[in-house]
A and B are shown apart, each in its own frame.
Chain A
Amino acid sequence: DTAVSQTPKYLVTQMGNDKSIKCEQNLGHDTMYWYKQDSKKFLKIMFSYNNKELIINETVPNRFSPKSPDKAHLNLHINSLELGDSAVYFCASSQSETQYFGPGTRLLVL
């Protein structure tokens, strides 16, 4: 059973397009996150939701909009994609201190 799942696994798209990435966790956790890992492997937090409420919003362009329809889901919508958005996007969830990551979505913007 997959604890944290993301779709799609790969996403190749043109600059200027709008795309969404979905994340679901079946662990019953209250807190979910989106991270971006760039080509230098730096893993940086973007957003966090706790019980559907936004609690962390790092300095991310407002082209990125997270949405949490319920505690088990945290989606990420990206408008007007740019070349610099190419990265691996990881969703994660946590209850106490341990974070569980999804398998990542590899986004390539051409």
Chain B
Amino acid sequence: RKEVEQDPGPFNVPEGATVAFNCTYSNSASQSFFWYRQDCRKEPKLLMSVYSSGNEDGRFTAQLNRASQYISLLIRDSKLSDSATYLCAVNPPGTYKYIFGTGTRLKVLA
């Protein structure tokens, strides 16, 4: 099993739709989780950290399911500008390492 796995997509959704991505991780002791956004030919940028109780930032909601070892990202009311690749990252315990998933590509269509 890969350390961090994501469905590569692409997810093609109409504007205004709600879309959700999941990311599974293999190390059950992992404590820190993140969602990054990467636009084409650009660097990854932190979208949001994922807290145990779940957290929201505007149209974006991140959740952690420890029992099933996955994190999720929900985007409500999708905008054309949300089109990008969304990478999850996991920081295994006791390391400075960040393990990234391969990313899920989102295309929001007009």
Contacts and interface: CB of A to CB of B under 8 A. Distances in A.
Contact of B91 (A43, A90, A97, A103): A97
A40 B102 contact: yes
16 contacts: A31-B96, A40-B102, A42-B102, A43-B87, A44-B100, A45-B97, A45-B99, A50-B96, A90-B43, A94-B96, A98-B34, A98-B46, A98-B49, A99-B46, A103-B43, A104-B42
B45 interface: yes
Closest 3 CB pairs of A and B: A101-B43, A43-B100, A42-B102
A66 interface: no
Interface residues of A, number: 22
A41 B34 contact: no
Interface string B8-37: 000000000000000000000000101000
A104 B42 CA distance: 7
Interface residues of B, number: 21
A43 B44 contact: yes
Contacts of A90: 43-44
B98 to A, nearest CB: 6
A56 B95 contact: yes
A97 B32 contact: yes
B84 to A, nearest CB: 12
B44 A41 contact: no
Interface of A: 31, 33, 40-45, 48, 50, 55-56, 90, 94, 97-104
The secondary-structure label for the interface of chain A is strand
A102 B44 CA distance: 9
B85 interface: yes
Given A40-B102, A42-B102, A97-B32, A103 B97 contact: no
Candidate in B32, B34, B49, B97 with the most chain A CB atoms within 10 angstroms: B97
Contacts of B95: 56
A10 B49 CA distance: 31
A104 B43 contact: yes
Nearest to A49: B96
